[in-house]
């Protein structure tokens, strides 16, 4: 039942047999976390990659100057984790906490390597997933470099209207790389697109 969302997500890219689904089930586990709990804290190694069944998480980094930067918000049907730490098994620079009560499907590195070998389609799925993530991040980078704060906010609202209602403006500001004060001013200028 909980796996339905995961299989649907995977099957957008590759078809799975029942046997393969069973292997995937056996190579993962379900985890529940409450609001404010941490999935990962700076200095720890990310032992899992996680698929979100329910809830909303934020990944952020605290830089040398003490500033927090939100890297990503993750909601239902998205993946969350620190890929770098997961792959290298080195301590993470990221913090990931729950903005709402959450339910996740977790895969360890061993799980995933076993899956790659036993179900090559999963490796294909992850290649495609990474292609998309890479493209999305490249576009976000370009957007961050060339757009004003207003343009970025407008682009964010357009792209994530659903997420926008679930998180505070302070978090959005951190994601956009501007201060909460600036976002507040930006929001006054910004004419919201008409409600549905």
- State the residues that interact with DNA by CB under 7 A: 35, 148-150, 168-171, 177-188
Separation CA 100–CA 105 (nearest Å): 16
Closer by beta carbon to a copy of itself, 177 or else 193: 177
Closer residue to a copy of itself, CB minimum distance, 2 or 144 = 144
* Smallest separation, CB 126 to a copy of itself (Å): 6
> Binds 148, which of a copy of itself, DNA, none (CB < 5 to 8 A, cut-off by type)?
DNA
Angle at 20 between CA 16 and CA 25, to 5 degrees: 115
What residue 87 binds from a copy of itself, DNA, none (CB within 5 to 8 A, per partner kind)?
Answer: a copy of itself
Chosen from DNA, a copy of itself, none, partner binding at 180 (C-beta under 5 to 8 Å by type): DNA
Round to whole Å and give the CA distance between 79 and 126: 11
Q: Find which of DNA, a copy of itself, none residue 150 binds, CB within 5 to 8 Å per kind.
A: DNA
Q: Which two tokens stand for residue 42?
A: 């700076």
Cβ contact 69:63 at 8 Å: yes
Report CA-CA distances (Å) from 87 to 1, 9, 49, 79, 182. Answer: 29, 22, 10, 15, 36
| 33 phi and psi angles, rounded to 5 deg | -135, 145
Residues near a copy of itself, by CB under 8 A: 61, 63, 65, 67, 69, 71, 83-84, 87, 116, 120, 123-124, 126-127, 130-131, 133-135, 137-138, 140-142, 144-146, 177
């Amino acid at each position: 039942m909980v796996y339905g969302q995961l299989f649907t997500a995977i099957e957008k890219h590759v078809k799975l047999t029942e046997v393969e689904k069973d292997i995937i089930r056996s190579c993962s586990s379900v985890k529940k976390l409450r609001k404010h709990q941490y999935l990962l804290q700076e200095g720890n190694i990310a032992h899992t990659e996680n698929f979100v069944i329910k809830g909303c998480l934020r990944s952020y980094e605290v830089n040398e100057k003490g500033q927090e930067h939100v890297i990503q918000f993750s909601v239902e049907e998205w993946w969350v984790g620190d890929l770098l730490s997961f792959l290298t098994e080195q301590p993470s620079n990221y913090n990931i906490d729950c903005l709402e009560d959450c339910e996740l499907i977790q895969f360890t590195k061993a799980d995933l390597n076993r899956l790659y070998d036993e179900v090559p389609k999963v490796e294909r799925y992850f290649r495609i997933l990474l292609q998309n993530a890479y493209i999305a991040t490249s576009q976000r980078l370009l957007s961050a470099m060339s757009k004003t704060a207003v343009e970025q906010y407008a682009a964010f609202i357009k792209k994530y209207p659903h997420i926008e209602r679930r998180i505070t403006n302070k978090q959005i500001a951190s994601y956009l790389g501007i201060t909460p004060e600036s976002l507040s001013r930006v929001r006054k200028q910004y004419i919201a697109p008409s409600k549905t």
